[in-house]
Structure 1
Amino acid sequence: MRHRHTSRFTVVGNHLALHPTLSAVAIGLAVHIQALPDGALISIRMLAAHFPESEYRIARALNELREAGYLERRRERAAGQRIITRTTYYERPGSNTSPLRSPRHSPKAPSSARPPSWGTASPSGCRRRSP
């Protein structure tokens, strides 16, 4: 039975909910991230504290989302010479506003056995996650 939600809900596209190659863990994490407010801080550790999956499984799922175009990671220099990884979440990968389609976007780096920490979301359909 379906229920029409009128408050406190998140719209999820069928391209995500019925994705043919993403694991259930990756889809679940994408829905969770999409439900967070823009600019929310997340990390693998924070997600592992919220969900029963291990940090390793969460990192693998986040890498799946990156490979499918839902996430983009960039290393940036923060104050005090600290380097952080900034992650942008795209509710609809491949849209015209997605920097993933920009000619300036560098090719994806191969997945490593130990993925970097995840962590902010920006306006206009993109969400940034910072450590």
Structure 2
Amino acid sequence: MYVLLLRHDQGHVLGLTLEPLGHTHISSTLTYLDNGVVFVGSCFGDSQLIKLHKQPVSEEQGGGTIEVLDSFTNLGPIVDFSVVDLERQGQGQVVTCSGVDSDGSLRIVRNGIGINEQANLELQGIKGIWS
């Protein structure tokens, strides 16, 4: 991810500088939320929630000014797949080649449901909400 800096004086642009911020996945959309937190939405790999810092963060975070707060799994685009039944019990698993370029990965899709709670909010009179 890069930032384009414009040097100007009294409405005239004096120069342009392109500075690297750090590495994120290939983005399809960027949404600034608040307090330096940005959602990086991707059609080509996992989406990310990142925080922009003024000073470089640790080398473990890549050494740039970007800190990855969270990642959201994305199976798409599925370039190729294969169905395998490793235990030969009729419980096939799909192994996919997902993503593009450096965001590409192998993913395993199993039969069943997995629920990861992202947030919890108490509301009066609500019996259930599904999405």
**Structure of greater relative contact order (alpha carbons < 8 Å, 6+ residues apart):** 1
TM-score by length of 1: 0.25
The structure with the largest helix share of the pair is: 1
TM-score between the two structures when normalised by the length of structure 2: 0.25
> Rg larger in 1 or in 2?
2
Larger fraction in strand? 2
